[in-house]
Structures are given as C-alpha cells and as structure tokens.
Structure 1
Amino acid sequence: MSATVSRARGPAAGDGAPPLIGITTYQEPARWGVWVREAALLPVPYVRSVERAGGVPVLLPPGVTLRGVDALVARLDAVVIAGGGDLDPDLYGALRHSETAPPDPRRDRFELALVRAVVAADLPFLAICRGMQMLNVACGGTLVQHLPEAVGHKGHAPETGIVGSHPVRISEASLVGGILGGSADVPTYHHQAVGRLGTGLTAVAWADDQVVEAIELPGHRFGLAVQWHPEEGEDKRLFEALVAEAAGR
C-alpha cells in the first residue's frame, strides 16, 4: 500500500454541504451530435444513485496522474470504484485466458493507484463489480478469469448486454449485512470473480455456487466491495450508507 495521504476534507466536513463522491469512469470512443471522439464515460445510473443518496457525484477520468490521485483523495469525501472491463491478468501474475477481454492499461494503472491511496487514507469507498476485483488485486489477491468454466453455468451474466439477477447470502455480522440483512436478490453482470482473497480482506457474501459476492476491509472506516451492480437496481441502501458515512452522520 502507498503511504498515508493527509486529508484536507472537502466541503462536507462540518459545514452541512453534501459530500463529494468520486466515481471512476471509462475512457472510450463515443458519438454525440456531429462528434466521434474519445470520451470519459460513465453509465448514468451511478450518477443518479449518488445524487439520490444525497451526494454530489464527481467523475474521475482514468488519465489522472499518480500525483493527481493524492490530490483527489485529499479533496473527496468518498469514492465509488465503478464496474467495467476485465483487469490485466499481469496485475495478479496470471496468463490471459481466451475469454478475458483486452486490458485497458491506463484505467488499470489509475484505479490501482486510486484504490491503494483510498485504503491508505481511510477514505470511505464502495467498489462495484470490476471495482471489487481491483480491490482484491490491489491487496495481492487473484481472479477467476471465466466463471462459466469454473462453476459450470452462466448465471452471473445470463444474457449478453442484459443485467440479470440472482440471490446472495450475506454475513449479518458484516457491514453489508448491517445494511441489507442476511440475504438479497441482486442485479448481476460479470464473468470474472475473486479467486484467492487479498491480504486483509474478508469475504462476507456468496452466491449459491459459493462465488464470493462481497468483500470488506475490516478496520477501515467504510471499506465495502460488491460483485453485483447496486446502481442498476431499486435498492439504493448501499449508496445511502456510503453517502451518510461520507457526510459524517
């Protein structure tokens, strides 16, 4: 992990202003109006989920320098590590599986540095899907690169481009268990998952096939990662809990 970053809290620290919640983004070719340009992108449900929970969303493009990461962490009140494409298997010492998508080195480098800085600064975070996988890798863990091969079914991503749903069992003694209870039906779309758990992390939720669906960082102020996509569902309690912690309530 990186050295601890000194925190000059954002405007949410004590003056009643809503907390600033950073959300990581894609950087992809996009079309709007007459333009076809490279753009920093984020599915709108992430932004709406943070807004409805009472936070101010701040989009974090993957081109931020390592020096810029420290500046972000010093000014934000919490971070959402968003979903996205597959991580580079080189990050966890594995060969690329034939079903693993080509990596995005720029985003991988940025988010790896961001996760480590957020952990070191004790900044509240919610890591989602790819974000959970990045947290695990940042802590020295590994990934299962293609779940259908490992578990024998496609239940974690039933249809291409369509978010599915499945139940998860949650440890009620965990942070996520305190928010959601002992079980939940969750929106799902992923073909990779946690393999060997990273140092200091605890698995706290599981699918019926025993795939790890949530991990936490014990001792961290609010360190939670879920394999599902809470931004795609109606239940916004995870975002509400993150924003409440960021606001210091």
Structure 2
Amino acid sequence: MQKTLFLLLFVFTALSSYSQDFFDRNVDQDKCYVLLCDPTVSRIQTILYLTENKVFKVEDEVEFVGVYFEDQKYDFAKTQQYIEDKKLDKFHLQAISGNLNVNNLFQENGISRQLKKAFDNSAGVIFFGGPDIPPAVYGEENTLSVVTDPERHFFEASFLFHLLGGFQDETFTPFLAARPDYLVTGFCLGMQTMNVATGGTLVQDIPEEVYGAGNAEQTVKTDREDLHRNYWQELAEDTLLMGINLHPIQFTGNSFFGKTVKVKKNRTPKILSAHHQAAEKIGKNLEVTALSHDGKVVEALAHRVYPNVFAVQFHPEVASLYENMAALKFAPDDEPKTYHEIIGKEGVRFHKAYWKHISKALQSVKN
C-alpha cells in the first residue's frame, strides 16, 4: 500500500513539474522569466544553442516559459515531453485558452487576464518566424497569402496589441505603459505580427506585388540580392538547394543600428531571409531601422517610445550562421557553401552584435 501511494505521489509530482500552466503554480520571484511564443521543440533547441554557445548571454537566474494558444495546430505535448526527456529545468510551458477571432483581437478579450499574468511575471518575450498571417487580421482580402494556422496568429497579434497598443484603438492602455523597459523582440513573422498588431499592414507577396513576378520562373530572374527566399526549389530537383536566401541589408538614418546596436552604419551585412511577405503600412510608434539591398523591403523596426521593443524581418537565431554546418547552394549551378561561409566575418560580427544588444536589453529589464 505504501509503495502504491509513493508511486502515485511521484507521478503527480512529475506531472506537476512539467505542467503547462506554469504561471498558475511555480513562479519564483527570485527568477527572471523570458517568454517564448510558439514554443515548439525546434524553438527550445534554438534557445539552448544560443545560450550554451554564449550568442544569447543570460544570467543563471534566467529561465524560459513557452507560451502558446491551446487552439494552435502544433501539439505542444511534444515540447513538454522533450523538456522532460532532456531534463531542462529552466524551460517551462504556459497554455493560454479563450475565445479569439478576427473581430476581438485588438481589445480586452477572453485571454487578456492570462496575458497580463504572463507579462507581470516576466522580463521579456520573443516572437519567432512562421506561416502567413490571415490578411483579415489587418483588414484586407486574402489574395496571395497561404494561411495554415490562423489561431496562432490570432493569439500572437492580440498579445502584441496588449503589449504595445495600436491604431485600432487609440484609447487602449498597453501593458508597456506601466513597464516601458520590458523586452519585446521578434524574428521574421514576429516582426510582421508586431507591425500588424500595432495597426500596420503587409505586402502579401513580394515577388508579385513589388517586382511584378507572377511565378517562380520569373522570380529567379530577379537579382539574387533582392530575393527574400529561394524559388529555385520550385524549379529544380536538387537536394542541396537551400530554402532561404542570404542577402545584404542596409541601415536607415535611424540610430537603432549604429548607436543602439553597435555596428558601422555604412556596412551592408548579409542576413538569412525566408519570407515572401513584408511590412507595408507601418504600425503605431514603429520606425524603420533597416531596408533590403534595393530599399524596397522593410528589414527591421524599432519602437519610438519603448526602448527595448524592436524586431527584424530576418533570422538571427539560426545556429548555422555561427559555425559551419551543412554545405548547401542557392542555385543549381552554385558550389555548395555553408551559411557561415556565405555571410562571412562581417555577417557573423553583425549577428553577434545584434544578440549582444538583446542580451543587454534583457539585463536592463532584469535590473
């Protein structure tokens, strides 16, 4: 009998340790929590790589809480199992539930209290890349978007609106009004969602709307430096073709790159790009800090009121930027190279400088 009770107690304790309602049970006021939206297994692996290799430098008391909407398509039981199997005691999960639809995102709604609890118990949040946002979220008809997980977008757009406010309701008081130094950053889709959540819009397809290329054959005739993902995959059967592009960006006159992120303003570092949509009308209080090589695509945004709110259209989180991994090629006739080789020393320095700023921003919040 005692063995049975002990076993039941052990199982209950184990399940509680890896529960997906972290902020309802286990908050330690001596810890610093960073939220990770869409915490898939690959996201956890990414953060592990960045922190273990000192690209993203965090103190010992920093822990990560993956937050997600229960109606998302991904099965986050996989993440919970991964955390348990790898004994990752600094990673946790928090599920958010409620009624979200395209009409109630930019106002107080059924998840507002849960968002506020996550905000109150954390120092910052990271929004990652992903599929297309439903154009209805920013008041447009879907003409060129491929929407696969609308619930994820409803959640992340509403969360960012709660954090920052937007043109949709000028009377709304955002969470950061009370804590203006809170860290909010995002990559690729994360930047697009930040723009949409604050009242901006998107170009639904860069090749067609910006360059007038209606198919892959026409798109690959565009200058390689002006492509934002690899369309050769649609035309050639070659297992070494990368799905992304590594192309240069340029900095605007905004002081974010140069003064805030310590880089030389005249540099044009290569970055990793994998998108076909882009910020169009810019959201409330956001400023453009970087552009594509030809100046036609927004590559980075920063908030003019909240100093630790900024995002980029590219992917600085990808591990293969920081060391040689798989050798791939962009076009069928290219020689295979690693991402690390392609971006070169200048690109690596830029990406490390960007993560250094994220690390410093988090440290400033924590203190």
After TM superposition, the score normalised by the length of structure 1 is 0.79
Quick one: structure 1 residues 47 and 227, their matched pair in 2 at CA, closer, same or farther if it must change by over 3 Å? farther
State the shift of 1:221 in Å: 2.7
Gaps of 5+ in 1: 1-9, 27-39
Is 1:131 matched up with 2:217? no
Corresponding residue number in structure 1 for 2:66: 59
Is 1:239 matched up with 2:355? yes
Quick one: structure 1 residues 141 and 129, their matched pair in 2 at CA, closer, same or farther if it must change by over 3 Å? same
Write the distance in 2 (CA, Å) between the matches of 1:75 and 1:50.
Answer: 21
- Higher helix content, 1 or 2: 2
State the shift of 1:241 in Å: 1.6
- Map 1:12-27 onto structure 2 (within 5 A): 19-25=32-38
Matched residue pairs, number? 222
Write the distance in 2 (CA, Å) between the matches of 1:62 and 1:144.
Answer: 26
State the shift of 1:97 in Å: 1.8
Q: Which amino acid aligns with 2:126?
A: V
Quick one: structure 1 residues 144 and 20, their matched pair in 2 at CA, closer, same or farther if it must change by over 3 Å? same
Name the % identity. 25
Corresponding residue number in structure 1 for 2:325: none
Write the distance in 2 (CA, Å) between the matches of 1:212 and 1:94.
Answer: 19
Corresponding residue number in structure 2 for 1:110: 155
- Higher strand content, 1 or 2: 1
Quick one: structure 1 residues 116 and 48, their matched pair in 2 at CA, closer, same or farther if it must change by over 3 Å? farther
SS of alignment partner, residue 314 of structure 2: coil
Write the distance in 1 (CA, Å) between the matches of 2:35 and 2:352.
Answer: 17
Q: Which amino acid aligns with 1:181?
A: K
- Map 1:1-249 onto structure 2 (within 5 A): 19-25=32-38, 40-43=40-43, 44-50=45-51, 52=54, 53-55=56-58, 56-63=63-70, 64-65=96-97, 66=111, 67-98=113-144, 100-119=145-164, 120=174, 121=176, 122=180, 123-152=182-211, 153=219, 155-159=227-231, 160=233, 162-171=243-252, 173-178=254-259, 179=261, 180-182=263-265, 183=267, 184-210=269-295, 211-232=297-318, 233-234=321-322, 235-248=351-364
Quick one: structure 1 residues 75 and 112, their matched pair in 2 at CA, closer, same or farther if it must change by over 3 Å? same
Asked if structure 1 preserves the Cα contact closer than 8 Å seen for 2:36 and 2:64, the reply is yes
SS of alignment partner, residue 205 of structure 1: strand
Write the distance in 2 (CA, Å) between the matches of 1:25 and 1:242.
Answer: 19
Asked if structure 1 preserves the Cα contact closer than 8 Å seen for 2:254 and 2:288, the reply is no
State the shift of 1:46 in Å: 4.2
Write the distance in 2 (CA, Å) between the matches of 1:236 and 1:47.
Answer: 16
Quick one: structure 1 residues 242 and 48, their matched pair in 2 at CA, closer, same or farther if it must change by over 3 Å? same
SS of alignment partner, residue 247 of structure 1: helix
1:54-98 alpha-carbon deviations (Å, 9 max, x no partner): 333332223313122111111111111111010010011111124
After TM superposition, the score normalised by the length of structure 2 is 0.55
Q: Could you say what the CA RMSD is over the residues aligned between the two structures, in angstroms?
A: 2.4
1:177-229 alpha-carbon deviations (Å, 9 max, x no partner): 33143232111111000011112111110012321100111120311110000
Quick one: structure 1 residues 48 and 58, their matched pair in 2 at CA, closer, same or farther if it must change by over 3 Å? farther
Write the distance in 2 (CA, Å) between the matches of 1:181 and 1:226.
Answer: 17
Quick one: structure 1 residues 189 and 46, their matched pair in 2 at CA, closer, same or farther if it must change by over 3 Å? farther
Gaps of 5+ in 2: 1-26, 71-95, 98-110, 165-173, 212-218, 221-226, 234-241, 323-350
1:18-63 alpha-carbon deviations (Å, 9 max, x no partner): x42211116xxxxxxxxxxxxx454432443355323333322233
1:132-182 alpha-carbon deviations (Å, 9 max, x no partner): 111111111110000111233461002456232111111364223331432
Asked if structure 2 preserves the Cα contact closer than 8 Å seen for 1:25 and 1:42, the reply is no
Write the distance in 2 (CA, Å) between the matches of 1:243 and 1:71.
Answer: 23
Higher relative contact order (Cα pairs below 8 Å, separated by 6+ residues):
1
Asked if structure 2 preserves the Cα contact closer than 8 Å seen for 1:82 and 1:128, the reply is yes
State the shift of 1:106 in Å: 1.6
Write the distance in 2 (CA, Å) between the matches of 1:104 and 1:42.
Answer: 17
Quick one: structure 1 residues 245 and 225, their matched pair in 2 at CA, closer, same or farther if it must change by over 3 Å? same
Corresponding residue number in structure 1 for 2:104: none
